[in-house]
Structure 1
């Protein structure tokens, strides 16, 4: 009886942490897309979600970064507890934790306004905060990309070929679109592809966490 009670007590916090991680992606995208639809001057073909941190309503996206960052850190901690020992059980969650931490940095150091957003803003200027934002985003995105391959390797060893392919495809798509917008020559197609890849990557995080929960 004592052993059963102890196991239940340990399982509840872990499942709660995993639940936090599972809702981080949907919460982030619902909040970002809602803002994108209603804020004047914002254009999905021109602006990444991080630019929503600017303007009078910028606090909404700043809060979005903070909340989803904390939720992602919780989810990473839950994964570390829940995964069976083996390669990927340590570095996979750690990399997702770095991604979560990068969202907190993105909240503190806002992206520079520009390219017509907020309304009336001219060409983008580069500030120290903007540089730190881009650095945090780069570290976070690259950590998430590497995490997809770490988990893909684990899934392959466990014989879950479909999950391995899904993970690698997510990482490749995300890396390709991230490289596209980082080139400085992002057009409407590249920007929309990046939005889609970020959605795909968040969806992958949610799917992996839900799979672990089950």
Structure 2
């Protein structure tokens, strides 16, 4: 249950915080940008608490012997989220308010570590969904999981491209990927029962 709840809490917190944060554009800015500024502690805590919940969920799946692959992906994903909270990105692209609209000339060590953690998270998304689908006995569930995982691969690639080009919809693409991946993962964990 902790893993499923963690996925839902993560989504709700970043959506509500983003909608109510002065100067933050939910369409342009990434979820990680919410860890900056005076209210940055909210998203930092969201990363760490939700990541820890996913690790606990992975341990629950492992103890239930539902799927070692799915359990492992949950734990890696959870660790990636915790690391994303531990290392903040640099202020950039107009956020927080008053920040230059471009990228820094040189990125800090914290930003570089955050990027590595983010790479782990976004690589885990399609793999976690794929693994989640294969915890079910139904061929239909396997097929749907494969299709959703393929769509997430395309979504992650689209997000990467949008980020590189500083697209005005970078944040929107990222949020669609995160909601799709964590929504699917949460649903699977609920179907598996206590985890």
Same fold (TM over 0.5): yes
> Cα 1:60–1:154, aligned 2, differ >3 Å: closer, same or farther?
closer
RMSD of Structure 2 on Structure 1 (CA): 1.7
Show the counterpart of 1:193: 173
Return the alpha-carbon distance in structure 2 between the equivalents of residues 112 and 173 of structure 1: 29
Return the alpha-carbon distance in structure 1 between the equivalents of residues 48 and 73 of structure 2: 18
Report the CA distance between 1:166 and its aligned residue.
3.1
Q: Which has the higher contact order (CA 8 A, sep 6+)?
A: 2
Are 2:62 and 1:62 aligned?
Answer: no
TM-score by length of 2: 0.89
Over residues 32-67 of structure 1, what are the superposed CA-to-partner deviations in whole Å (9 max), with x where a residue is unaligned?
111111111111221111110000110111011111
- Which sits farther off after the overlay, 94-103 or 186-195? 186-195
Q: Whose Rg is larger? A: 1
Secondary structure, counterpart of 1:21 in structure 2: helix
Report the CA distance between 1:131 and its aligned residue.
1.1
Q: Runs of at least 4 residues of structure 1 off by over 6 A?
A: none
Return the alpha-carbon distance in structure 1 between the equivalents of residues 128 and 56 of structure 2: 16
Show the counterpart of 1:128: 109
Are 2:171 and 1:210 aligned?
Answer: no
Gaps of 5+ in 1: 1-18
> Cα 1:190–1:46, aligned 2, differ >3 Å: closer, same or farther?
closer
Show the counterpart of 1:102: 80
Show the counterpart of 2:151: 173
Aligned partners of 1:53 and 1:60 also within 8 Å: yes
Report the CA distance between 1:95 and its aligned residue.
1.2
Secondary structure, counterpart of 1:56 in structure 2: coil
Gaps of 5+ in 2: none
Return the alpha-carbon distance in structure 2 between the equivalents of residues 152 and 209 of structure 1: 10
TM-score by length of 1: 0.82
Are 2:18 and 1:36 aligned?
Answer: yes
Report the CA distance between 1:186 and its aligned residue.
4.9
Return the alpha-carbon distance in structure 2 between the equivalents of residues 47 and 188 of structure 1: 8
Show the counterpart of 1:92: 70
Show the counterpart of 2:121: 140
Return the alpha-carbon distance in structure 1 between the equivalents of residues 135 and 42 of structure 2: 37
Aligned match of 1:47 in 7, 10, 29?
29
